[in-house]
Chains A and B, each alone.
Chain A
Amino acid sequence: MIDEIRTLTQRLADEPSSLAFLELGESLRRRGQVEAAYKVARGGLNRYPGLADAHDLMARILSDQGDFAGAFDAWADALRFDPMRTGALKGIAFLYFRAGDVDAALEHLQRAAEADPDDPAVSQAIARVKQDSREAGREAFTAAEPEPNAGPKPEPARATGVPPLPPLPPPPPPADSPFAGIDAGDNGLLLVDANGMCLAGRLTMPDGADAAERVAAQLAGVTREAARATRLLGLGSWHSIAVESPDAHLFLVAPTAETLLLAVRGPELPMARVGLLAERATRAARGWLGRVQ
């Protein structure tokens, strides 16, 4: 392994524009030299920002470093350039499972199975994750890790240190809610239209009063302002807005051009997990909008 790393390092030094950084970064990661692997991957990404393999490599490294939000973003970037990339689909599935979102994990594993029907590890992972057991899921993902475009290999200590999703109180959402079955149901999830009108979901104030309409009205112009800001500053189209308040974490995404989704959770839930929740709610909202429109 050391000889291999030496050879790859030399090859990259001789030809900095080569793709040897992919092998070198992976070799370093597997040796546990994640800092060195990160530098190699970062250099490669700077040179090849549109290369899915580079984002996939970066995601695995970030996951090894415990930066799961960063890993999620990197795998999402990999999928942007290669939507059927099984390693990225498995990686995101793992992160969803880790966050307690079994349904979203299964959805991504199903996509991985469609992308690579001959990968027996994926079907094994699906079967085992369906047991809806954190322990079983961790083993399943370990079994599912392919070479080299795999999802992360979770370490037991890290995985067992994951706090469970917070206890969720509220009454079940209406049967026609797009958010039925998601996390706490529809409280703290709000879907609004471009005119600031509520389409679905609920939002209550800390004292229990309904805040949905008041908040929806304020959100009416957010999409336009966010789009304008990122466009004028050369940052492309906008993806999301994360807002930290002392009392809550808020995450905004646009399921469609005409709608905005707000996810609100307490500050004890890491922002990255609120983002995962918002993404799941976004998919549900898109499906719901397709049915009701």
Chain B
Amino acid sequence: MNAAEAALDRVTRVPGVRGALLASSADGLVIAEQLMNGVDGRAAAALTGSLVARLARTTAGAGLGAPVFLHLRGEEGSILAVPGGDGLVLVAVAGPEANVGLARLEMLDAAGRLG
């Protein structure tokens, strides 16, 4: 198991997380993924990458540092993202029952190990 797979494995072990992936934040290309059936990894990577980039421009516009964690909450679940400093973004898709706090910790730790 390489480092990326190990990182995704940790995140997807969190109850309620339906999948995780590592993508390039510049073009949204998926580098590695562990997803349950029905989760569209390419869409998750592209859409999250775009949103992360926009929010990074927002924080920069406010004179603030770049985002380190993002939680987009939907009616039926959440998208979590941890942008890395090396042009990668770690993304998780979670159901409404997921422990987002635990997923956040695992993602930050996993991203730290990757970086």
> Which residues of A pack against B, CB within 8 Å?
42, 45-46, 49, 67, 69-70, 77, 203, 205-207, 209, 211, 214-215, 217-219, 221-222, 225-226, 228-230, 232-248, 250, 262, 264
> Which residues of B pack against A, CB within 8 Å?
38-40, 43-44, 47-48, 50-51, 54-55, 57-59, 61-79, 93, 96-97, 101
Cα distance A213–B97 when bound, in Å?
Answer: 37
* In-complex Cβ contact of A235 among B54, B57, B67, B78 (8 A): B78
Determine if B69 and A244 form an interchain contact, defined as CB atoms under 8 angstroms apart.
yes
Cα distance A280–B67 when bound, in Å?
Answer: 24
* Nearest-neighbor residue (CB-CB) of B19 within chain A: A233
Give the residue among A215, A218, A233 with the most B Cβ atoms within 10 A: A233
* Nearest-neighbor residue (CB-CB) of B44 within chain A: A233
Cα distance A205–B62 when bound, in Å?
Answer: 5
* In-complex Cβ contact of A243 among B44, B50, B59, B96 (8 A): B59
Known: A46-B97, A240-B73. A222 touches B51 (CB 8 A): yes
Determine if A233 and B58 form an interchain contact, defined as CB atoms under 8 angstroms apart.
no
* Nearest-neighbor residue (CB-CB) of B96 within chain A: A49
CB contacts (< 8 Å) of A236 on chain B: these are: 74-77
25 A-B contact pairs sorted by A residue (CB < 8 Å): A70-B101, A77-B96, A206-B64, A221-B54, A226-B72, A229-B51, A230-B72, A233-B39, A233-B47, A233-B74, A235-B74, A235-B76, A235-B78, A236-B74, A237-B74, A238-B72, A238-B74, A240-B71, A241-B70, A241-B73, A243-B58, A244-B68, A245-B59, A245-B65, A247-B64
* In-complex Cβ contact of B97 among A42, A203, A234, A237 (8 A): A42
CB contacts (< 8 Å) of B96 on chain A: these are: 49, 77
Apart from A219-B58, A237-B75, A239-B73, 18 more pairs, CB < 8 Å: A77-B96, A205-B63, A222-B51, A229-B44, A230-B75, A232-B40, A235-B75, A236-B74, A236-B77, A238-B73, A239-B75, A243-B58, A243-B67, A243-B69, A244-B68, A244-B69, A245-B59, A247-B64
Cα distance A174–B98 when bound, in Å?
Answer: 42
* In-complex Cβ contact of B64 among A45, A233, A248 (8 A): A248
Cα distance A229–B78 when bound, in Å?
Answer: 10
Cα distance A229–B55 when bound, in Å?
Answer: 14
Cα distance A167–B90 when bound, in Å?
Answer: 35
Known: A45-B97, A241-B70, A244-B67. A225 touches B76 (CB 8 A): no
CB A72 to nearest CB in B, in angstroms, measures 12
CB contacts (< 8 Å) of A235 on chain B: these are: 74-79, 93
* Nearest-neighbor residue (CB-CB) of B77 within chain A: A235
Determine if B54 and A225 form an interchain contact, defined as CB atoms under 8 angstroms apart.
yes
Cα distance A215–B62 when bound, in Å?
Answer: 6
Determine if A233 and B43 form an interchain contact, defined as CB atoms under 8 angstroms apart.
yes
Known: A238-B73, A242-B73, A243-B70. A232 touches B54 (CB 8 A): no
CB contacts (< 8 Å) of A205 on chain B: these are: 62-63
CB contacts (< 8 Å) of B77 on chain A: these are: 233-236
Cα distance A264–B42 when bound, in Å?
Answer: 31
CB A55 to nearest CB in B, in angstroms, measures 10
Cα distance A70–B73 when bound, in Å?
Answer: 13
Determine if B40 and A218 form an interchain contact, defined as CB atoms under 8 angstroms apart.
no
Determine if B62 and A203 form an interchain contact, defined as CB atoms under 8 angstroms apart.
yes
* Nearest-neighbor residue (CB-CB) of A220 within chain B: B54
CB A215 to nearest CB in B, in angstroms, measures 5
Known: A244-B69, A245-B66. A222 touches B74 (CB 8 A): no
